[in-house]
Structure 1
Amino acid sequence: MKKILFINGHMNTGGVEKSLLDILRRLDYDCYDVDLLLLEELGDYGAEIPSNVHIHVKSLKNTYGPFLKSLITCVKVRDWFGLKMRVIFLLMKFGGQERIALAKKLLTANQHYDYVIGFRPGICTQIAAFAVHAEGRATWWHHGEINVERQSYLECAQACDKIVAVSHACSKMLADAFPTISNKLTVIPNMIDKSCILQKADEFCPYSRKDVHQIVTLCRLSPEKHIENAIFAAQKLKEAGIAFQWHLVGSGVEEAKLRKTAVAAGVADIFLFEGNQTNPYPYLKYADLFVHPSYVESQGIVILEAMALGIPCIVTKSLGPCEFIQDGVNGILAEQTPESLAQKVNAILTDAQLYARIQRGSHCPEKFFPEYTMSGIERLFRV
């Protein structure tokens, strides 16, 4: 039986965490002994993690901020783990990130693994690259842009055996940015577990009104998602006399700003903030239309989930979605402007034939089925 370690920050709702949860659900625990190291907290998905997984929460929250302040915090709350890690982080600052190897005993009690996976760039990958005894190492790449300190990431990637990208477009982006690691790149897409999605989608119906179109956007409320474009598109649709409610499911750092934008645009009555939902699938299933305004997507799990539920999708062009959406066939691609979003939404809601055509074509491509993803992961573990 092979011993595997996954490293991530937390298991709160989010695309990366959903991807990791899906993998953990599908692993064969007759073949793998799995540890999950979390560096912040357990999170919303904690109850859904299989009982076979050994969960270790080693919170680094008290190490955040200036050195002296974090030391004082750690001492006050008797967080001796955090205190030691903060000193190691200081040594890394002056002696290089390889110094995180000093934390092997703190993080994993010097256990030996057949394979370790840093499921995010940054500290998760630093630990996987330098602070775990393992036969094989991999880092996962989930982002549609290069949003890391390049030299630091390159050093970690060079210490790993594989760099897993979730789409071919992301793999090419990484190869162009870091040519020296291109031979280590492999593509393993995030899976879409349709049976699980369908089961959860039937748990409740979130929409009470039947006399208006129900539009939904589901994502983290962060700058790269450009939710403001959806708000301004809603403003234009309201001015055009379209009867609708637009539901925004998710939370994040942009929420307060976006609420003010909705008020200023005069759409606070129809652009509705639904907050974070541990089960967002009913919002997709019972919607008439899914709209995704993000400028940056490595793959776009939620888009594929909406397609698996047969919901027509309008998606702003970005790396990942352009790999699987055929414009006008199984979805509609929009430019990165509120004008384009509004025009596309208006078109599909006022053209019954267009709506029916997109709805017929809306389904999850086979390459995102669980068996395809899991076969790639099993190949990865053959070290």
Structure 2
Amino acid sequence: MKKKILFVINNLNCGGAEKALISLLETMDYSKFDVDLLLFKREGIFISKIPKQVNLLAEPENYKYFDMSIKTAVIELIKKGRIDIALSRILSLYTFKTEKKKSVVEQKVWKYLSIALRKLDYKYDVAIGYLEKNPIYFCVDKVNAKKKIGWIHNDYEKLEMDKKIDDKYFNKLDYVFTVSEECLNVLKKIFPQYKEKFKIMHNIVSDKAIKKLSLEKVTDVQFNKEDINIVSVGRLNYQKGFEMAIEACSILKEKGYKIKWNIVGDGEERSNLERLINKFNVKDEFKLLGIRENPYPYVAKSDIYVQPSRFEGKAIAIDEAKILNKPIVLTNFSTAKDQIENKINGLICDMNSYSLASEIEGLIIGSELKNNIVKNLMEEKLGNEDEIMKLYDVIGI
């Protein structure tokens, strides 16, 4: 008899966790599982990638009132006679106004959002909150399941969340998965009482699929041989550190290098990054391309892949660049050494623009270094679809 599994995540917008979930769903054995997927908002570029065997549930009915203007939400809710939810929406606004840490706002708002969301009727064998905060909280509070699993996709310490809130929910989970050794060590340090619940499952990356997708044509960017073509993939947010990349681009330009640096991704920092692009006079060299459903052809056409992040759990984009045998430069965030062996299959630099520019320059002028890195990447085994067995093990099949 098939086991019934529920996955919960906020949406399927362009991000590492969302992409990792799609890869996981593509790898699952549907002869053994019936899988439901709940999105708080049914949106995102990966919606079209959901395997046909997955049953996409309707959005939670009242979630929308916490994602629209408070005036519109309160008027609609009063008309419906839902004074309780209207009051919760008003109280959530107070939290947004008074809580200084953005990372903690979602945690604290959950107690008000929870009032608006009803419990799911179906009983599951396993419920999986595939992202920190709301997806985990929903599984604990709103789902009837024999086993409940949470997922932490980043260095928990760098997320700057309120651990007292998560302690209550971790206590009710059977397992908490994370994505790298360093992330696991951080969780064990902060929550030693739950160390037996913590497990590692690396994000699933299919080398065959990525190589196939990388062959698609790129029509919106010219990759010229006389240029040094650099690509980075990621959300335009503080975590990804693209301000450092802009200044590094300016430094390399001043040294006379013909840089063309394309960023695949979008986010809340776009206007700030555009301002910095103008400030450092790299409008012709540094381009924010926006979201692309298939970023792999851009990476494949590049000479160098750069990940200038401040922190990561395990960056899927780095593993994908490795599969495409691209020399990689990344900043020395806490989990960097979980993905790159410095000067063997990539370069790790200090977390500043000058070090970033220096290591990129090292690849530009050091053909032997670059060739050795590419050679080592070509010899690595990088596909890891068998990671799914770690999930199967705790599900119990």
Aligned to 1:150: 163
Aligned to 1:302: 317
Instruction: Tell me whether 1:70 sits opposite 2:69 in the alignment.
Output: no
Instruction: Tell me whether 1:269 sits opposite 2:280 in the alignment.
Output: no
In structure 2, what is the Cα distance between the partners aligned to 1:289 and 1:200? 19
Aligned to 1:170: 183
2:306 is matched by which residue type in structure 1?
V
For structure 1, which runs of at least 5 residues remain unmatched after alignment?
A: none
Distance change >3 Å, CA 271–CA 178, structure 1 → 2: same
In structure 2, what is the Cα distance between the partners aligned to 1:113 and 1:96? 26
SS in 2 for 1:268: coil
Give CA-to-partner distance per residue, 1:291-346, whole Å, 9 cap, x none.
Answer: 11001011111011000000010010113321131100000001000000000011
CA RMSD of aligned residues (A): 2.7
Distance change >3 Å, CA 289–CA 83, structure 1 → 2: farther
Distance change >3 Å, CA 356–CA 366, structure 1 → 2: closer
Aligned to 1:375: 389
SS in 2 for 1:259: helix
Instruction: Tell me whether 1:292 sits opposite 2:307 in the alignment.
Output: yes
Distance change >3 Å, CA 86–CA 306, structure 1 → 2: farther
In structure 2, what is the Cα distance between the partners aligned to 1:138 and 1:364? 35
For structure 2, which runs of at least 5 residues remain unmatched after alignment?
A: 96-107
Shifted more, 203-212 versus 345-354: the winner is 203-212
SS in 2 for 1:214: strand
Instruction: Tell me whether 1:198 sits opposite 2:211 in the alignment.
Output: yes
Instruction: Tell me whether 1:130 sits opposite 2:135 in the alignment.
Output: no
SS in 2 for 1:159: coil
Q: Alpha-carbon deviation of 1:188?
A: 0.5
2:34 is matched by which residue type in structure 1?
D
Distance change >3 Å, CA 72–CA 289, structure 1 → 2: same
In structure 2, what is the Cα distance between the partners aligned to 1:363 and 1:19? 23
Shifted more, 358-367 versus 194-203: the winner is 358-367
Tell whether the 8 Å contact from 1:200 to 1:282 is kept in structure 2 after alignment.
yes
Tell whether the 8 Å contact from 2:37 to 2:55 is kept in structure 1 after alignment.
yes
Matching of residues 28-177 of structure 1 within 5 Å: 28-58=29-59, 60-64=63-67, 70-74=73-77, 106-108=118-120, 110-144=121-155, 145-177=158-190
Aligned to 2:244: 229
Q: Alpha-carbon deviation of 1:73?
A: 4.3
2:140 is matched by which residue type in structure 1?
A
TM-score (ref. length: structure 1): 0.91
Tell whether the 8 Å contact from 1:300 to 1:320 is kept in structure 2 after alignment.
no
Instruction: Tell me whether 1:350 sits opposite 2:350 in the alignment.
Output: no
Shifted more, 56-65 versus 250-259: the winner is 56-65
Give CA-to-partner distance per residue, 1:230-258, whole Å, 9 cap, x none.
Answer: 01000110011111201111100111110
Distance change >3 Å, CA 265–CA 114, structure 1 → 2: same
Distance change >3 Å, CA 160–CA 368, structure 1 → 2: farther
In structure 1, what is the Cα distance between the partners aligned to 2:109 and 2:271? 38
Tell whether the 8 Å contact from 1:100 to 1:131 is kept in structure 2 after alignment.
no
1:381 is matched by which residue type in structure 2?
I
Q: Alpha-carbon deviation of 1:31?
A: 0.6
In structure 1, what is the Cα distance between the partners aligned to 2:83 and 2:253? 54
2:188 is matched by which residue type in structure 1?
A
Matching of residues 244-263 of structure 1 within 5 Å: 244-263=259-278
Tell whether the 8 Å contact from 1:100 to 1:130 is kept in structure 2 after alignment.
no
Q: Alpha-carbon deviation of 1:84?
A: 7.1
In structure 2, what is the Cα distance between the partners aligned to 1:216 and 1:61? 36
Tell whether the 8 Å contact from 1:197 to 1:305 is kept in structure 2 after alignment.
yes
In structure 1, what is the Cα distance between the partners aligned to 2:394 and 2:8? 16
Q: Alpha-carbon deviation of 1:24?
A: 0.8
Give CA-to-partner distance per residue, 1:2-61, whole Å, 9 cap, x none.
Answer: 000000011122101000001111111111010001002232111111111110131523
Q: Alpha-carbon deviation of 1:150?
A: 1.4
Give CA-to-partner distance per residue, 1:248-275, whole Å, 9 cap, x none.
Answer: 1110011111011011101111111111
Q: Alpha-carbon deviation of 1:177?
A: 1.2
Q: Alpha-carbon deviation of 1:98?
A: 8.0
1:380 is matched by which residue type in structure 2?
V
How many residues in Structure 1 have an aligned counterpart in Structure 2?
Answer: 376
In structure 2, what is the Cα distance between the partners aligned to 1:362 and 1:86? 55
Aligned to 1:13: 14
Distance change >3 Å, CA 169–CA 62, structure 1 → 2: same
Q: Alpha-carbon deviation of 1:103?
A: 7.0
In structure 1, what is the Cα distance between the partners aligned to 2:250 and 2:125? 54
In structure 2, what is the Cα distance between the partners aligned to 1:24 and 1:325? 26
In structure 2, what is the Cα distance between the partners aligned to 1:322 and 1:312? 15
In structure 2, what is the Cα distance between the partners aligned to 1:85 and 1:41? 22
Distance change >3 Å, CA 102–CA 63, structure 1 → 2: closer
